Amino acid sequence: MKTGIHPEDYRLVVFKDISNDQAFLCRSCAPTRETIKWDDGNEYPLVKLEISSFSHPFFTGKMKFVDTAGRIEKFKKRYARK
C-alpha cells in the first residue's frame, strides 16, 4: 500500500440502518455530528444509512421496496403520457 494516503483519525462509530433500526459498531473516519449511546454505556458518533447488509435484498434473500424520496412517483409524473 502507498504510505501517506490513508486517514489517521479512525475511531469507533455506530452505523444505523434507518429502514429497520439495526445498528453496528466499527472503526471509521466518516464525518458526523450526531452521537448515540451504545449498549456498553459509552457514547459514539452516529452515521445513519438508508440501506445496509441488514436490509439489502442480496443479504436478506427477500425483496424489499425502499423508496425514501418518492423517486418512483417523481419519475412517473415526469414521463407520464399527456
Per-residue pLDDT of the chain (82 residues; tens, 9 = 90+): 688 888 888 999 999 988 888 899 999 999 999 999 999 999 999 999 877 777 766 656 676 566 666 777 777 888 887 5
Q: What is the pLDDT of residue 57?
A: 62
Residue 5 lies in a domain: no
**44 lies in which domain range?**
11-78
The identity of residue 58, as a single letter, is F
Residue 44 lies in a domain: yes
pTM score: 0.64
Residue 61 lies in a domain: yes
Beta bridge partners, 28, equal 11
Residue 63 lies in a domain: yes
Looking at the 3D structure of the chain, how many domains does it have? 1
Altogether, the residues listed in the chain come to a count of 82
Q: What is the pLDDT of residue 44?
A: 96
The identity of residue 6, as a single letter, is H
Do residues 30 and 20 touch, judged by C-beta distance below 8 A?
no
Q: What is the pLDDT of residue 64?
A: 57
